[in-house]
Amino acid sequence: MEKVFHLQTPLSPEDIEPLRSGDRVMISGILYAARDAAHRRLLELIEAGKDLPIPIEGQMIYYVGPSPAPPGRVIGAAGPTTSYRMDPYTPKLLELGLKGMIGKGKRSKEVKDAIVKRGAIYMAAIGGAGALMARAVKEARVVAYEDLGPEAIRELKVENLPAIVVNDAVGNDLYLEGRKKYQTG
Amino acid sequence: MRQISTQTIIDAVKDSAIKANFELGEDVVRAFEDALKYEESAAGKDILGQLIENARIAREERIPMCQDTGLAIVFVELGQEVSIVDGDFKAALEEGIRQGYREGFLRKSVCHPFTRKNTGDNTPIIVHLDLVPGEKLKIWVVPKGGGSENMSQLFMLSPSAGWPGVKDNVVRTVLEAGPNPCPPTIVGVGIGGNFEQSALLAKKALLRTLGTPNPDPELDEMEGKLLKEINKTGIGPQGLGGRVTSLAVHVLMMPCHIASLPLAVNIQCHASRHLEIVL
């Protein structure tokens, strides 16, 4: 647990360069909410050589499928979903310039390698704290794939969304390092 | 015969689906508070504090504690002296879930396995029905998140594997899951029965109130040993390293075939939601 960084999206290489695994981050700006089914559709478009419904370069994707907004709120609960399911699609998005991902849980070797190769960053938000995380979301609107319901792509305007760096651009992995300190027997 | 109307069942299931998602059980909050006492990692303590805060926000602001409001599992103990009137019993359970997920603004998280098309109303549900003596109807509404369910495993062990084999595979399941199922988790273990029964035992084990001992002293001792081994892994809250990987291990066991030693490990995230209704 080192410094606290304030990040504003979209991210530049200079934003990412100083970040190290274990650093706390507060994120503000636009995040794109996308999870399993949306990733599948994005990759189908990429493979077909078609335009994507959202910008990718310099952007951050938040792996989240929020619960519906009750009257008077911009969003329901909005915590991260488990990231490994997006692993098959992630290296391609990083190749197209995606700079950051927020989720929870381990990434594959391919994704970790691609994060280093492309100078990107993977962060974890607190899984299961959806009511708390929703407080950082100030605006939300569906920008693609409305038919997917909770899996539609949403543009989220966030202020100080808290996360912690897991995989940094120099190859550190907080899940491996954090566990070592407390492993016994 | 005591009569219970399907409308009573629909209303009760609807209210429970909403309440279960807004109000984390006091036993779970207490377990977070206890865990704060023995967690050594600063990040781990921070997370436990935020989980307590998250539960408070959800309860007070009437929003789900977690956006994954689950696939709805319904356990039923139907007294054989009860007659369900005014319609189809299983359809009433499903209608209760449908209404609860709509009116409570809960996420609809059920889809076709291949097309991934959302069914739109969080049905179908999964029902486990037991016929029991008496004239009561007990229903447990259990919204179960996908992230922790995905990390669950089933093993058809050889009888020679014995207790060491059970222990190793339970710990290995937790270790392989690592940060993915939102630790600190609760680990449901089903030993014996057969292929499907062991899984059902593991899931049923999760319904026990946290902090209560297993009524079987032999199993209670097993739970203590398994929890100790699991918390040696160092995975910690959210997998960032720490002493509290799991809050509890709950074991249910029954006899099995002379050729078998079935073992199921059902992982439950910290958003452990289950409500019991007695009608």
pLDDT, tens digit, 9 for 90 and up, residues A100-145: 999 999 999 999 999 999 999 999 999 999 999 999 999 999 999 9
List the catalytic residues of A: 39
Question: Two tokens at B39?
Answer: 């967690």
- Domains belonging to chain B, first-starting first, are 2-20+65-144 (3.30.360), 147-272 (3.30.1330)
Q: What is the mean pLDDT of residues B210-217?
A: 98
Q: What is the mean pLDDT of residues B199-223?
A: 98
Residue of B nearest to A107 (CA): B180
Determine, for residues A126 and B54 on separate chains, whether the beta-carbon distance falls below 8 Å.
yes
Band of the pLDDT at A1, cuts 50, 70, 90? very low
CA distance linking residue B205 with residue B190, whole number of Å: 7
Question: Two tokens at A105?
Answer: 């849980």
CA atoms within 13 A on the CB side of B200: 14
| SS3 (DSSP) at B169 | helix
Residue of A nearest to B40 (CA): A182
The pLDDT score that the predictor gives to residue A185 is 65
Residue ranges of B 248-277 with Cβ closer than 8 A to chain A: 269-271
φ, ψ dihedrals at A46, nearest 5°: -60, -45
Residue of A nearest to B147 (CA): A82
CB A72 within 8 A of CB A94: no
Determine, for residues A128 and B53 on separate chains, whether the beta-carbon distance falls below 8 Å.
no
CATH number for A4-161 (one of 3.40.50.300, 3.40.50.1970, 3.20.130.10, 3.20.20.70): it is 3.20.130.10
pLDDT reading at B125 higher than 60:
yes
% of chain B exceeding 70 in pLDDT: 100
| SS3 (DSSP) at B24 | coil
CA atoms within 13 A on the CB side of A88: 11
The DSSP element (H or E) to which B89 belongs, if any, is helix B89-103
Least CB–CB distance from A78: residue in B61, B67, B240: B67
**Sequence-separated (6 or more) residues with CB below 8 Å from residue B8:** B279
Question: Two tokens at A106?
Answer: 């381990």
Residues from chain B that touch A132, judged by Cβ atoms under 8 A, are 50, 53-54, 57
pLDDT in tens, B167-209: 999 999 999 999 999 999 999 999 999 999 999 999 999 999 9
% of chain A exceeding 70 in pLDDT: 98
Number of Cβ atoms within 10 Å of the Cβ of B160: 8
| One-letter-per-residue 3-state SS of B147-174 | HHHCCCEEEEECHHHHHHHHHHHHHHHH
CA neighbor of B95 nearest in space, from B18, B10, B31, B153: B10
Least CB–CB distance from A77: residue in B65, B234, B242: B65
To test the contact with chain A by mutation, choose from B101, B167, B171, B238 the residue with the greatest count of A C-beta atoms within 10 A, namely: B238
pTM for this prediction: 0.96
Residue ranges of B 153-212 with Cβ closer than 8 A to chain A: 178-182
**Sequence-separated (6 or more) residues with CB below 8 Å from residue B34:** B211
Determine, for residues A1 and B58 on separate chains, whether the beta-carbon distance falls below 8 Å.
no
B123 vs A: CB within 8 A: no
Q: What is the mean pLDDT of residues B111-138?
A: 97
CA distance linking residue A101 with residue A80, whole number of Å: 10
Domain boundaries, chain A: 4-161
Determine, for residues A128 and B118 on separate chains, whether the beta-carbon distance falls below 8 Å.
no
How many Cβ pairs closer than 8 A exist between chain A and B?
A: 173
Question: Two tokens at B236?
Answer: 């910690």
**Mean pLDDT for chain B overall:** 97
Least CB–CB distance from B66: residue in A77, A84, A106: A77
CA distance linking residue A85 with residue A63, whole number of Å: 10
Residues from chain B that touch A185, judged by Cβ atoms under 8 A, are 229, 232
% of chain A exceeding 90 in pLDDT: 97
| SS3 (DSSP) at B226 | helix
Residues from chain B that touch A41, judged by Cβ atoms under 8 A, are none
Determine, for residues B54 and A128 on separate chains, whether the beta-carbon distance falls below 8 Å.
yes
Give the position of tokens 């991260």: A80
Band of the pLDDT at A2, cuts 50, 70, 90? low
CA distance A1 to chain B (A): 7
Question: Two tokens at A123?
Answer: 């962060």
Band of the pLDDT at A3, cuts 50, 70, 90? confident
ipTM value: 0.94
CA distance linking residue B219 with residue B206, whole number of Å: 14
CB-count burial class (<10 Å; 0-12, 13-18, 19+) for B83: exposed
